[in-house]
Chains A and B, each alone.
Chain A
């Protein structure tokens, strides 16, 4: 079985090649089948590989398959190789599972689009890149997947490129990601410089002896790698591309900009956990950036009216949670939240897509309302997702979020302040999610009569994926129920072999911690749940029962509302501080330096030579007689000189 590991990413690549090369020449059902079947097969293969891996003893759970050496130059060797361990196994399961469901959903959602084949070709290419990213056995091959998903993200955000806002958003995403990737590359160079290899297993084994713990080099390398993660996973200060990425088709937002690609940064940090544990300063940076992003994005989410933008800021905020977890060395908790988030956020996006579908393309929540009677399946599944992300006990989001909060408080790398930020964010999350639910599904309908008549539940191909994801959102967290409920935390045990330092630490801490800590854990958990319930009730009060209250609230705090509504003017600040000077400098370089100076110099020389030549050629008449005249005059002059001189 293990020799088929390479097929997991290769199958979607085959789908991409077939659909991409025969673009638009195949009937739609064939395109759909060719696109979905490879992803489905990859999912089945991932499940089989997972069980294969589970059969092995915990410390031997590593399957490596090297296909062939890719770059071999001097002492440098990069392989095309795949590495399956507990971490990448979780990742390929999540990616192929969510990916397959979203492929199915897309068949219904993109049904009317003229570029059906192109859409699925890109989606398959994305699956290939993402699976390469998580399965690669060295940093460089991972970087191929890393760039590949960036490319697909660009292509799919700008899928409707006739729309200027969409093509602009694609470019923005691509350019902002470049900034992060630059850091990632430099980080990779530092690692290769010091260790002499980029292979994950070699690097992780050698790192503790090569690097001085807490030294400048390892800290720089980790922070530079994290810079890549900041770009890809939309953290402060590079998060600005993600909300704009909502210009893409909704299933793309669900797959790439919620469930999989944006979590690549979290995966990368979890993969390099050995390095990060050697650099506590870098961990602190990760935790602070994560926590700040979490609360920052959540506050923006409070005041947005576009249903997809609320979800986009929610994604940024949840990614902040994941980095907070990584930053307090709870890498397992980060990956756990990554997994549950993939389920419920994909569900939220797909349900939002279903709402938009029913509203004939309208995304503004101010024009929705009262839709629960018209789209019951969408309503129920979205409600489940909202309860999950809010963290209602028993649902998956509760377990993963609670674990992060507890780790932020209790981990040796944690701090109560980090917990407070996470705690407040949990309340904000619940509030804006239920604001969305109440504005969209409850109250009186605010759409125009024409749209109201056309309100309809989506076709089966869209509602079935919703139901599947709803089930996963509910049960997905049950594999990671904390010890405190008297059961073994399967997820933590599963991840332990990969999380070398952190995992064992947590395991050894747990029994020694004693009853006091358990009491604390329960106390914090209860506090969070109470805050979440209060937030939900507040949202119900403001947006559900007395809609005029929200208007009053807005009028009472006009400055705050304007600040949040305009997203803290971050885009404007970046525009004024970075983009405008860059554009101005580019115009200067173009018009002054290039056109005036460089072109002017070269053309100027040419013009000077041309003018001189024009002057000289007047003497060159081409007539033999005039040449002869000059010749004779010369002879006469010479003779005269010698005779008279």
Chain B
């Protein structure tokens, strides 16, 4: 029987990989994938708690997160394409126009 801590440790590990990936990756597509990793690590934790406590709230949350992740990927990729058309790069360090 796999216990809750095992799920949680796996979730933390995946989340950490995702977070580190977000921080060090220069490629924006890799960055997106890392964000997905983090979201899914959170999903895993939610499901694990849901099952352990035997309530359905976690499941409902996971569906919401999946929907948001899909939407986020669609919008993010659209923005990415627009930026690429203007800048001809997907290197995140070059996208520093937030600063004057």
State the A residues within 8 Å of B (CB): 617, 620-625, 628-629, 632
9 nearest CB pairs, A to B:
A622-B99, A622-B96, A622-B98, A623-B96, A629-B23, A620-B99, A632-B19, A628-B22, A623-B93
Provide the bound-state CA to CA distance between A632 and B22, in Å.
Answer: 10
Cβ contacts under 8 Å, B97 to chain A: 622
Asked whether B99 lies within 8 Å of A625 as measured between CB atoms, the reply is: no
List 6 additional contacts besides A622-B97, A623-B93, A625-B93; criterion CB under 8 Å.
A621-B99, A624-B95, A625-B22, A625-B24, A632-B19, A632-B22
Cβ contacts under 8 Å, B95 to chain A: 623-624
Cβ contacts under 8 Å, B67 to chain A: none
Q: Which B9-31 residues have C-beta < 8 A from chain A? A: 19, 22-24
Asked whether B23 lies within 8 Å of A623 as measured between CB atoms, the reply is: no
Provide the bound-state CA to CA distance between A620 and B96, in Å.
Answer: 10
Contact A624 B99, CB 8 Å, known A629-B23, A632-B19, A632-B23: no
Asked whether B92 lies within 8 Å of A623 as measured between CB atoms, the reply is: yes
In the assembled complex, the CB of B46 is this many whole angstroms from the nearest CB of chain A, namely 17
Provide the bound-state CA to CA distance between A629 and B98, in Å.
Answer: 16
Chain A contact residues: helix, strand, loop or mixed: helix
Cβ contacts under 8 Å, B22 to chain A: 625, 628, 632
Nearest-neighbor residue (CB-CB) of A627 within chain B: B98
Provide the bound-state CA to CA distance between A617 and B99, in Å.
Answer: 9
1/0 per residue, CB under 8 A from A, across B79-92: the answer is 00000000000001
In the assembled complex, the CB of B34 is this many whole angstroms from the nearest CB of chain A, namely 10
Nearest-neighbor residue (CB-CB) of B93 within chain A: A623
Q: Which B47-100 residues have C-beta < 8 A from chain A? A: 92-93, 95-99
In the assembled complex, the CB of A622 is this many whole angstroms from the nearest CB of chain B, namely 3
Cβ contacts under 8 Å, B98 to chain A: 620, 622, 624
Cβ contacts under 8 Å, B93 to chain A: 623, 625
Provide the bound-state CA to CA distance between A625 and B35, in Å.
Answer: 12
Cβ contacts under 8 Å, A625 to chain B: 22-24, 92-93
Provide the bound-state CA to CA distance between A617 and B23, in Å.
Answer: 21
Provide the bound-state CA to CA distance between A632 and B20, in Å.
Answer: 9
Instruction: Name 27 interchain pairs, CB-CB below 8 A, sorted by A.
Output: A617-B99, A620-B98, A620-B99, A621-B96, A621-B99, A622-B96, A622-B97, A622-B98, A622-B99, A623-B92, A623-B93, A623-B95, A623-B96, A624-B92, A624-B95, A624-B98, A625-B22, A625-B23, A625-B24, A625-B92, A625-B93, A628-B22, A628-B23, A629-B23, A632-B19, A632-B22, A632-B23
Cβ contacts under 8 Å, B19 to chain A: 632
Nearest-neighbor residue (CB-CB) of A629 within chain B: B23
Provide the bound-state CA to CA distance between A624 and B99, in Å.
Answer: 11
Cβ contacts under 8 Å, A620 to chain B: 98-99
Nearest-neighbor residue (CB-CB) of B25 within chain A: A625
Cβ contacts under 8 Å, B99 to chain A: 617, 620-622
In the assembled complex, the CB of B16 is this many whole angstroms from the nearest CB of chain A, namely 10
In the assembled complex, the CB of A624 is this many whole angstroms from the nearest CB of chain B, namely 6
Nearest-neighbor residue (CB-CB) of A635 within chain B: B19
Provide the bound-state CA to CA distance between A621 and B92, in Å.
Answer: 12
Cβ contacts under 8 Å, A617 to chain B: 99
Cβ contacts under 8 Å, B96 to chain A: 621-623
